Amino acid sequence: MIYREDTSVSARREEIEIKLSRVRNLLYREEKKALVLMRQNNFSWITAGGKDQVTIYLEAGVATILITETAQYAITSIIEEARMREEEKLEELGFKIISQPWYEDKTAQIVADLVGDDLQYVLSDMPLGNAQVRNDLIKPLRYSLTDNELGRYMYLGETLSRNLENYIVTLKPGMSEYEITGGLCEALWKDNIEQMLFLVGTDERARLYRHAIPTAKKLDKQLVISVNGKYKGLITTVTRMIHFGKNEQLEHFYQDAVNVDVDTLSTLQIGTSDLNAYYANRNAYCSKGYEAMWAAHSQGGAQGYDNRDYTITEQNYGITQRNQCYCFNPVIHGAKAEDAVIVTDDGLLEVTRPVSFPVIECEVNGKVIRKPGIQFID
């Protein structure tokens, strides 16, 4: 099945209704009267791809969503009111906009007045008066993606993969990691892909550091780039490698990393514990003699409206939902394999995949998925 985003107001309203139903079922189960969403990522989720971000590095956005048993509101300041109405189309999407002065935050009082009771009967994703902060209940509402969210994810994954691969092969030895990062920002922003994380490791830095943030180090032969890209709130991750000249040892390590990834992905099934992926991942490393590589870095987990909804460990795991996204990141001696998938009724749906890079075909539960190879450059 091919998934494409429908940006019409009617399609977004249909998606929002699905999510409002989940929220109100939660309120019923927890015997609460309302839910408050203040985080940027939750705004994007509940508004079907909206954006209330002004400052990039803050968790809270510039609009607070309030959902009661019968209505939904967007509480914002006079600064943001017009944009929320005209560009974010919140009223057309079914939210009543309530504006307040920029110099006086009365959000807690507005919520209390609308709910008609003390905030102790309100769930929230950030502190607000004496409302109960329960992200353990709120985040799982996002895990099962709607068809329109799958369409947005397909755009994000394909665009992120294509733009990264097209850009990385234009690089030349002697370029600094800073310079490489700047060029990649331009390559992604032009297609509305925001960047949440850049890891740009050249040569020995790729082998020494799991999180090789960009430095002034200049590229000689090997380059590993990992990018967390965001589109309308959804986030995914992709890693690509190039090497100037053939390197058979690096290729061997990379193939082993791909095999670890495939063994990990093969355990993902709707309705089963994703702790199985954790054990399969560790066993795959150890069976190939790379136990130290496994212990050196976290191995990934679920993602969606966070870089990682959760990293899977023996203490932190979940039941795989229909249409839930996962991304794992095995690394062996500087060779890293990382692409995202969505677990569907028809098997794994590739979010990121090789577009112009060499293709390694792998079988996962009877279905072929494509993994990128290293791009060796003469």
Question: Per-residue pLDDT for 254 more than 80?
Answer: yes
Q: Is 35 exposed, middle or buried (0-12, 13-18, 19+ CB in 10 A)?
A: buried
In the chain the first and final C-alpha atoms are separated, in Å, by 38
Q: What are phi and psi of 38, to 5 degrees?
A: -115, -20
pLDDT confidence of residue 290: 97
pLDDT of residue 58: 87
**Nearest partner of 236 among 302, 323, 303, judged by Cα:** 303
DSSP states of 262-274: HHHHTT--TTSBT
Mean pLDDT of 235-240: 97
Average pLDDT value for residue range 264-288? 97
Please report, rounded to a whole number, the percentage of residues in the chain having pLDDT higher than 70: 100
Confidence class for position 2, pLDDT limits 50, 70, 90: confident
Average pLDDT on 98-115 reads 96
Q: Supply the pLDDT for residue 117.
A: 78
Q: What is the pLDDT of residues 52-72, one digit of tens each?
A: 999 888 899 999 999 999 999
DSSP category for residue 220: S
Environment class of 10 (CB within 10 Å of its CB; exposed 0-12, middle 13-18, buried 19+): exposed
CATH assignment, 9-141: 3.40.350.10
Is pLDDT of 21 > 90? yes
Same topology for domains 9-141 and 147-377, yes or no?
no
State residue 1's pLDDT score: 77
Residue 357 pLDDT grade (very low, low, confident, very high; cuts 50, 70, 90): very high
Q: Please state, in angstroms and rounded to a whole number, the distance separating the CA atoms of residues 280 and 262.
A: 10
State pTM to two decimals: 0.96
Question: What average pLDDT score do residues 137-146 get?
Answer: 98
Q: Does domain 147-377 have CATH number 3.90.230.10?
A: yes
| pLDDT confidence of residue 35 | 98
Domain spans in the chain, listed from the N-terminal domain onward? 9-141, 147-377
* Rounded Cα gap, residues 303 and 143, in angstroms: 8
Tell me the per-residue pLDDT of 117-133, one tens digit each, with 9 for 90 and over: 789 999 999 999 999 99
∠ CA 157-189-144, nearest 5°, is 35
Task: Report the candidate in 1, 36, 45, 18 with the shortest Cα–Cα distance to residue 309.
Answer: 45
